[in-house]
Structure 1
Amino acid sequence: MSDAIHERVQAALDKVRPYLQGDGGDVELVEITADGVVRVRLTGACKGCPMSQQTLKGGVERMVLKEVAEVKRVEAV
């Protein structure tokens, strides 16, 4: 994926990051695949949290899909 898409994905993650950090967690961009899959790593309190899948889909993925039309989905690694 292009640098512009990478920057837009990072900007979308930056928008959701304060909510994660408020609960002691964070999100880290790992990669963006050629077919539009964003891979992220949840860290801090988010890592291993029973609600992490809901956080990923309801917060992180929703924001990234809203901000970057080229992205198809977001996965945790």
Structure 2
Amino acid sequence: MIPFTDEELYEPVKNVIEKVRPSLALDGGDIKLLGVKNGVVYVQLGGACVGCGSSGNTLKYGVERQLRMDIHPELSVVNLPMGMENQMDAV
């Protein structure tokens, strides 16, 4: 169980997202933080990441790994494609 509220997690998560953004930009990609709900970080991949076959690995071994190392080992990340931003409750 994550000992932080979603509100407490938001700023640290935002900082980690900003930390990994330059790595994605090197390959033409981008990432946007949509929110944190029940310990799940919702993001939206953009640029070259959209439709890329490696985007799942980027989320798991790049973004999620960094969040778990820097904040808490139980955090997880979900990508919500463009147009699905309002679906955080459905995932």
Q: Provide the identity percentage.
A: 41
Segments of 5+ residues of structure 1 without an aligned counterpart are none
The total of aligned residue pairs comes to 75
> Residues of 2 paired with 1:24 and 1:37: CA distance?
25
Instruction: Confirm whether residue 64 of structure 1 aligns to residue 86 of structure 2.
Output: no
Q: What is the TM-score of this pair, normalised by structure 2? A: 0.76
Instruction: Confirm whether residue 17 of structure 1 aligns to residue 21 of structure 2.
Output: yes
Q: Which has the higher contact order (CA 8 A, sep 6+)?
A: 1
Q: What is the TM-score of this pair, normalised by structure 1? A: 0.89
| Amino acid in the other structure paired with 1:62 | R
Q: Would you identify which runs of 4 or more consecutive aligned residues in structure 1 move more than 3 Å?
A: none
Are the equivalent residues in 2 in contact too, given 1:38–1:71 (CA < 8 A)?
no
Partner of 2:77: 74
Indicate the structure (1 or 2) with the bigger Cα radius of gyration: 2
Segments of 5+ residues of structure 2 without an aligned counterpart are 1-5, 81-91
